[in-house]
A and B are shown apart, each in its own frame.
Chain A
Amino acid sequence: MVDRSTLTRRALLGAAGAAGVAGTVAAWPRLTGADIPGRGEDALTILILGTAQDAAGRQVIADAFMEEHPDIAVRIQSVQATDWGDFFAKILTMVASGTQPDIVYTATEGAQLFAERLALPLDDYLQRDAEEIRDYFEDVHPSLIEAFMYKGSLYQLPLDFNAANMYLNLDVLERNGLEMPGEDWSRDDFSELLRGMQGDATPYYWTNRLFGGIVPWLYVNDTSFLTEEKARGGEQFWSTFYPGEERSGGYLWTGSNATAEPVHESFEYLRSLVADGLAVRPEEGGGNTLVGLFASGRIGTTPAGGYWVQGLAEGGMRPEQYDVQFFPRWRSQRHQFGAAGYAVMKTTRKADQAWEWIKYTASKEAMQLAFPTPSTTPTRRSMVNDALYAGVGPEHWSRFYDTLDRFPTSGPIPAPPQQAAVETALIRNVSTALSGGAAGVERSLQNLDRDLRAVFAEEDS
């Protein structure tokens, strides 16, 4: 039995104070963030969008790199985000807090944001190590490279890409006595195909975002919601790595083109598909349910890139149950694509080491480690082969890469440095344009035009 009178208030306070100090000391690594794995280590930090499992998955590349470069320690760090916009915002927060990485794996959506504000141009390194890196460019389509050029400088070497192709469910086609369309099918052929499966499956399932939403339909109609121009510059690069190729210094999206007649035409076409029950509203699309719905024969067609092959295989879909086709022809058959690669942060103090990483990851050896399954399309043409798609890919898997050869004017996702605001404006007004009558299209495009003008005016100021 403890004698209560022996525990004085002073002793109690003293004990509490001592406990507080001890607790603070014990928790110091957590309070200061020093217990975050890799914090404080002198390693080349590479940031990717994904989970800790994704980071662990890339460790094999890091290990192979460190074997080749034992003097460069590499740490792969993942950041979870709902989409690329969310990912970029988190990177900027890391920059603000002084914990920025050295290298970031980023997609077309952020290419110009990075080029404008965060990334280091690779031009000098490319010229210095031209012979070492030449085999990469010989294997990669120039359209993909041009997408990562900004005002004449190259900022990233794209490692994987996805063009917006059309997936067709062969089970649905067969149930409805429909034929797989040919490569030069038209928009009207597409409408006819959708009508042929109406009542049996959802004919066209799509989504509302920059990739695979309204934009592919604008591109095949030879237009875009933004004014697209090409920058000058990059001549030395093109003459070094792609002699004879007439290419620019990169894309420039300079303002709104939302009120152009072909844009209205594309919007009206999609609105009529929704109104006629041939397409779902775009807000319904995307998400984790899509694979299951497509694999179970409840969706007839949907736009997607090569990244979907592995997902469908894991979802239980056999290669003979679906196939992939180019987007239907309208005024043109220009396709939309998105790509991704590593960008070196201009704040890094390890630029030379970062360049070694960029060079290594662009090698065939590293890309084979990075893309062992068709969960995306490697940018090296030589890797898009039977071996990659054997047993899992659709019959015409070659169309994933052929898209670039067949339609050399195919362009990247329209993503200027103000991508977040542009995407917000697009998503907002696409949904209103397609959710009502024909008059709503005109009104929504005017609103889109006004929103985009505000975005570009703000940047100018």
Chain B
Amino acid sequence: MRTDRRSRLMTWLFLAPTMIGVGIFVVVPIVGSLLLAFFRWDIITSPRFVGLANFTELATDRTVGISFLNTAVFVAVAVLAQLCIAMLLAVLVQSKMPSWMRVFFRSTFFFPLVLSAASVSILMKYLFNESYGVINWALSLVGIPAVPWLTSPQWAMVVVIAVYVWQNFGFSFLLFVGGLSAIPGDVYEAGAIDGATGWRRFRHLTLPLVSPTVLVASVMAIITALQVFDQPYVLTRGGPGDSTRTVVMVIYESAFRQLEFGRASAIGLVLMLLIMLVTAAQFRLARRFVFYQ
């Protein structure tokens, strides 16, 4: 009996540092944000309780609506591109090649991920400058007129997605390389005997066996993409107009530019619920599409 109590005490003692950390830095801010969503607060004056007003106003707020739409388009295109490119490159890197070359490609593809998103975006801003950017200069050599990459609503989102994917596919790539390495060689040998080569081998052997990794990669990619901020903020500041304004940008602008902390918290909570819903839907779908050995 005494040993049980002692054991429980030790358990709590070991858990305490993590629980205190999570409590202070995760739970308290979430609860605070939840409460703040029901107030109007501009830092200077005292918070004023407004009930559900911050939420009901979101429904008619054009900027918020556009930002959710932009984020949805961004997530759909960026995540698909990120996963496809990562998978393609992972399969290529895992194919037969000298080991030094494999190490080189693995490092190269992962490298953009360790760079600061803001620094990369500043660099890309120069490259994509309409008048003096290297990209338009290169295009001009083959007779293509200057493209307003960052200043036209049609192109700006394309560039934001391209920069984001370039920087982030390395993480999915690394997961896929791990997943592909875990596939036993004898599976492919058996498949080869049955005539599975090329696309059929990928479709019927590789993809099912790596599907748990695809699930993890897609869940993480979607959660990260739903919170995109750095690239559109540095590249376009959400413009032209609202064409690249994302949900997290609106949260930032509401809180730290317009000092509407209640509104920002309300948008943040809606985004959190959206992320939870999407993730739950992914796990639900996974029951049908993910194959566990």
Residues of A bordering B, CB below 8 Å: 85-86, 89, 92-93, 95-96, 117-118, 202, 208, 280-281, 283-284, 289, 293, 298, 420-421, 424, 427-429, 431-432, 435, 444
* Most chain B beta-carbon neighbours within 10 Å: one of A96, A208, A283: A283
Q: List A contacts of B151 (CB < 8 A).
A: 281, 283-284, 431, 435
* CB of B239 closer than 8 Å to a CB of A: yes
Q: Which residue of B lies closest to A281 (CB)?
A: B151
Residues of B within 8 A of A289 (CB): 126, 129, 132
Do the beta carbons of B130 and A92 come within 8 Å of each other? no
Instruction: Confirm or deny: B96 has a beta carbon within 8 angstroms of a beta carbon on chain A.
Output: no
Pair A95/B132 contact, Cβ less than 8 Å: no
Interface check B191, CB cutoff 8 A: no
What does DSSP make chain B's interface, helix, strand, loop or mixed?
loop
Question: Mind listing 18 A-B residue pairs with CB under 8 Å?
Answer: A89-B257, A92-B42, A92-B259, A117-B44, A118-B44, A208-B239, A280-B131, A281-B240, A283-B151, A283-B236, A284-B131, A284-B150, A289-B126, A289-B129, A420-B259, A424-B257, A427-B239, A429-B241
Chain A: interface secondary structure? Answer: helix
- Among B126-168, those with CB < 8 Å from A are 126, 129-132, 148, 150-153
Chain B contacts of A93 at CB under 8 A? 43, 256
Other than the given A118-B44, A280-B131, A431-B241, 16 more pairs (CB < 8 A) read A89-B259, A92-B42, A95-B44, A96-B44, A117-B44, A281-B148, A281-B240, A283-B151, A283-B239, A284-B131, A289-B129, A298-B132, A420-B259, A421-B258, A435-B148, A435-B241
B133: nearest residue on chain A (CB-CB)?
A: A284
Residues of chain B with a CB closer than 8 A to A293's CB:
132
Closest to A287 in B: B125
| B258 pairs with A420, CB closer than 8 A | yes
Cβ–Cβ contact B43 & A92, under 8 A: yes
B240 neighbours in A (Cβ, 8 Å): 281, 283, 431-432, 435
Instruction: Check if B258 sits within 8 Å of A281, measured CB to CB.
Output: no
Is the pair B241, A432 in contact by a Cβ cutoff of 8 Å? yes
The residue from B236, B241, B257 contacting A85, defined by CB atoms under 8 A apart: B257
Q: Is the CB of B148 within 8 A of A428?
A: no
Candidates B42, B130, B238, B257; contact of A284 at CB < 8 Å:
B130
Contacts of A432 in B (CB 8 A): 153, 240-241
Q: A298 to B131: give the CA distance in the assembly, Å.
A: 10
Flag if B150 contacts A283 (CB, 8 Å): yes
Closest Cβ of chain A to B265, distance in Å, is: 15
* Distance in angstroms between the alpha carbons of A271 and B237 in the assembled complex: 20
Contact between B257 and A420 (Cβ–Cβ < 8 Å)?
Answer: yes
Chain B residues within 8 Å of A298, by CB: 132
Leading 9 A-B pairs by shortest Cβ distance: A432-B241, A431-B240, A281-B151, A96-B43, A420-B257, A89-B256, A431-B239, A283-B151, A92-B43
Is there an interface contact between A92 and B257, defined as CB atoms closer than 8 Å?
A: no
The answer for the CA separation of A144 and B43 in the assembled complex, in Å, is 30
The listed residue (B43, B44, B131, B242) touching A202 by CB distance below 8 A is B131
Tell me if B253 counts as interface (CB < 8 A to partner A).
yes
Nearest CB on B from A431, distance (A) = 4
Q: How far is the CB of B34 from chain A (nearest CB, A)?
A: 19
B contact residues around A428 at 8 Å (CB): 238-239, 241-242
Residues of chain A with a CB closer than 8 A to B132's CB: 289, 293, 298
Q: How far is the CA of A429 from the CA of B62 in the complex (A)?
A: 13
Q: Which residues from B are CB-within-8-Å of A427?
A: 237, 239
Chain B: minimal CB distance from A143 (Å):
29
Bound-complex Cα distance A289 to B130 (A)? 13
Contacts of B148 in A (CB 8 A): 281, 435
Determine the residue in chain B with the shortest Cβ distance to A9. Answer: B10
> For the complex, what is the distance from the CA of A208 to the CA of B240, rounded to whole Å?
11
Interface centre among A96, A298, A432, A435 (most CB of B within 10 A): A435
How far is it, in angstroms, between the C-alpha of A117 and the C-alpha of B239 when the chains are bound? 30
- Closest A residue to B154 by CB, please name it: A435
**Chain B contacts for A444, CB-based, 8 A:** 241
Determine the distance from Cα of A417 to Cα of B179 in the docked complex, in whole angstroms: 56
Q: How far is the CB of B151 from chain A (nearest CB, A)?
A: 4
